Structure 1
């Protein structure tokens, strides 16, 4: 059963693999996957020669098929170090995720989605609005990166990182959403709340009534409240009941994800 602890750390490779496989299954369970496309990655400890390494899903597996033992290990050059499934990784996934992991060592997990709601919000000039409690947590915390085509050009990495800066949420314009977490658990929780925010924004603006955005003062206050909650688990090391509950859900609905 789930132990109730917070998200795994980079040093705990077994738990990191379990949590990353859980992230794939949870995103699939929420209907937020995109066939065999989009990715969730986790940074591993450096290799014996100091090379940067991270885990990514095998290309060709749907999110609901990913297990802890099927995850592929790649280095910063895109070279496959360990590939139990034998299908390699998606080149576009390597471009985006390697860029973040190499520049942001605090980002243990990087989660990228193409949901209908996320792509819709990424496709409007205003981006994400502070219309409610869900979206207020992201007030002043969202970066934006302009679309440059399918992410196959490694030169885009420098521009993507410059746009991301120190923030943990990025709207990839006309493309989708990206979150960074100090643990897999944090990245998943940010992503789920970001998806709810996008859905609520579309619903609110679709009613044909006048929207009532939160004031900057209230939105900023709410964002700080959320941040203190995240810090409780990521800095203070308190048990994370939300993540433990999600792992229990998977134990019931997707047994074997951690195999």
Structure 2
């Protein structure tokens, strides 16, 4: 769960995630929404969160932020990274003028295309290179 500026801003937009970038196509294939119910500390909200998430991997918590699910830490990290960038791109694009949208047929095929491209590895495809980069830039991260 994140409360980033871009994520909260898009969560407050009635339109939700728009099909306007390649990044958004990765999100839109597995996206759900949960209406704001106040601070999410109540046990009675859990079943509604689970129901709204369903089989999706990306959840916009309206007026609150973003949530992702993944089979691994790598999958969850890369999903959140993509989700956050989707929101940033959307806000930037909206500030720039009239938007063009991605063809819905392309959106539908993106998930399968990515499974083929990554050999079905999901986040594990990029995770090792991200760890190597982290070790170069901040070798003390493990402490």
TM-score (normalizing by structure 2): 0.90
Secondary structure in structure 1 of the residue aligned to 2:18: coil
More strand as a share of residues:
1
Q: Distance in 2 between matches of 1:113 and 1:188?
A: 11
Which residue of the partner structure matches residue 62 of structure 2? 173
Q: Distance in 2 between matches of 1:180 and 1:226?
A: 17
Aligned-partner SS, 2:42: coil
How do 1:13-24 and structure 2 match up within 5 A?
Answer: none
Partners of 1:203 and 1:125 in 2: how far apart?
A: 17
1:250 aligns with 2:138: no
**1:158 Cα deviation from its structure 2 partner:** 0.6
More helix by share: 2
Please, which of 108, 111, 122 is the counterpart of residue 220 of structure 1?
108
SS at match of 2:60: strand
Which has the higher mean CA deviation after the structures are superposed, 215-224 or 118-127? 215-224
Runs of at least 5 residues in structure 2 that lack an aligned partner in the other structure:
none
> What does residue range 56-67 of structure 1 map to in structure 2 within 5 Å?
none
Offset of 1:253 from its aligned partner? 3.0
What is the rounded CA distance, in whole Å, between the counterparts of 1:223 and 1:203 in structure 2?
24
CA shift at 1:230, angstroms?
5.6
Contact 1:180–1:187 (8 Å) recurs in 2: yes
Alignment counterpart, residue 8 of structure 2, candidates 119, 141, 161: 119
Match of 1:194 among 71, 80, 83: 83
Detail structure 1 runs of 4+ shifted over 6 Å in the superposition.
Answer: none
Q: Which residue of 2 aligns with 1:128?
A: 17
In structure 1, runs of 5+ residues without a counterpart are: 1-111
Q: Normalized against structure 1, the TM-score is what? A: 0.52
Report the count of equivalent residues: 143
- The answer as to whether partners of 2:118 and 2:125 remain within 8 angstroms in 1 is no
Confirm or deny: 8 A CA contact 2:75 2:124 kept in the other structure.
no
Residue 228 of structure 1: how far off its partner (Å): 3.7
Describe the SS at the equivalent of 2:68: strand
Alignment of 1:161 with 2:50, yes or no, is yes
Mark the CA change 1:252 to 1:199 in structure 2 (over 3 Å): closer, same or farther: same
Q: How far apart are 1:137 and its partner, in Å? A: 1.3
Structure 1 or 2, whichever has the larger Rg, is 1
Shift of 1:149: 1.2
Match for residue 99 of structure 2? 211
